[in-house]
Amino acid sequence: MIKAGSMYGTQLIWVLFLSSVFAWVLMEAYGRFAAVTGETAIHGFKKYLKWGKFWAILTIIGVVLGQWSSLSGILGLTSSALYEVLRLFIPGLKENNYWAVLGIAITLIVIMYALLLVGKYSFFEKILIVFVTIMGLSFILSMVIVLPDPKEIALGFVPSIPVGGELLVAAFVGTTMAAPTFIVRPLIVKEKRWGKGQLKVQSRDAFVAALLMFTISASIMIAATGALFHEGKSVTRVLDMVTALEPVAGKLAISLFMVGAMSAGLSSVFPILMVLPLLIGDYRQGKMEINSSMFRILAGIGCLIGLIVPVIGANPIVAQIATQVASVFILPLVISGVIVLINKKDILGKHSAGWKLNTVLGIALIFSLIISYKGVIGLISLF
């Protein structure tokens, strides 16, 4: 979002809006399936779909590969952002300090892993609420400080893709229409013990989640537009965010902005470390397994993978965009799966999908296929 705002202003806000709408519909569909049947996504694939085991295993592989690849970029970006915040207030620190950034990355991942060892979903949820609240407030305040012309924001809802913008479009969708969000949602619905009597609660929860997703993501893009795009400054390194923003908005705004970036990263690292053990537990028993040795071992492997970008010293912004694109390629399979599940009248009865939900899900599937194609074109142009 930061790079898109710095390069194209608000021109791609329509992609963000569409992705958020489709994310809402997919959360609603997966959540409804879970609340009515008591089943989870991967277990439901295995149980109710033709070639269900193959479908379930392929989904797990696709989701985990996409998430683990993005984890390394996220950790690299977060640790670099934290170092740049320190440099704001300790000018004596040198630029591009490899060992300092690596040390921060290792410290962060060790803390995240230690928090995971607590082994209680309610605790995980509280940690994420803290990170996301800080992120949201930081970016919204940053946006208010450097707010561009409202007309410019409105024009961003007119569909267009700038030349060379295919990769960022795919990365947008990989972020907002993230396949794990939908695959893991039934596990959360089940953990909260939402059944048929809580269908309205589940629906409201899905809508609020999508609304907040759009609000926070749009505020990031708009803040980058106001502070960077109009100054003709594009973000290619984490350092660019500081050097470009500080003269325009001052240390307070840049501090808010960078704290938001760090919170965004940390709020992503935490669930990504959980994704493989959660999905394996889903496949085996259709429930969360967060106190097992398997959970701890697989989360530990995720921690090591997350350190790849910091260890090799790769540009975390480029790595983050490229790896986030990987998440879109499994999306068509995830959407197709829920279309089949939500239309099974023998298990959902009157709660099966009607024509409205099916129409939007069908459009979401076509959208995901187009974006996957755009992602391939973008990756080819990148490499």
CA distance 101 to 349: 54
pTM, full prediction: 0.85
Per-residue pLDDT averaged across 65-87, rounded? 82
Pairwise pLDDT comparison (206 vs 319), residue with the higher score: 206
Q: To the nearest whole percent, how much of the chain has pLDDT over 70? A: 89
For the segment 259-292, what is each residue's pLDDT rounded down to a tens digit? 777 777 777 888 888 888 889 889 987 777 777 7
The answer to whether 186 touches 39, Cβ cutoff 8 Å, is yes
| Ranges 143-152, 238-247, 301-310, 318-327, most confident | 301-310
CA distance 274 to 68: 10
Q: How many CA atoms lie within 13 A of 94 on its CB side?
A: 5
Q: Is 315 helix (H, G, I), strand (E, B) or coil?
A: coil
CA distance 74 to 288: 25
Per-residue pLDDT averaged across 148-153, rounded? 87
Is the pLDDT reported for residue 98 higher than 60?
Answer: yes
Q: Considering only CA atoms, which of 354, 362, 359, 375 is closest in space to residue 335?
A: 362
Instruction: Write out the two tokens for 223.
Output: 């803040």
Per-residue pLDDT averaged across 123-147, rounded? 80
| Ranges 144-148, 163-167, 202-206, most confident | 202-206
pLDDT bin (cut points 50, 70, 90) of residue 88 is: confident
Listing DSSP states for 17-85 in one string gives: HHHHHHHHHHHHHHHHHHHHH---HHHHHHHHSTTHHHHHHHHHHHHHHHHHHHHHHHHHHHHHHHHHH
Pairwise pLDDT comparison (28 vs 68), residue with the higher score: 28
CA distance 195 to 32: 9
Quote the pLDDT of residue 382.
64
Listing DSSP states for 272-297 in one string gives: HHHHHHHHHHHHHHSS---SSHHHHH
CA distance 74 to 305: 11
Q: Which CA distances in Å does 94 have to 4, 88, 239, 263?
A: 28, 11, 11, 24
CA distance 64 to 277: 10
Residues 6+ apart with CB under 8 A from 343: 352, 353, 358
- Reported in sequence order, the residue ranges of 46-119 that DSSP labels E, i.e. its strands, are none
Q: How many CA atoms lie within 13 A of 129 on its CB side?
A: 6
CA distance 166 to 170: 6
CA distance 74 to 320: 6
The answer to whether 9 touches 229, Cβ cutoff 8 Å, is yes
* Residue 316 burial (10 A CB sphere; 0-12, 13-18, 19+): buried
Listing DSSP states for 147-165 in one string gives: ---HHHHHHTTS----TT-
Dihedral (CA of 230, 233, 238, 242) sign: negative
CA distance 230 to 65: 37
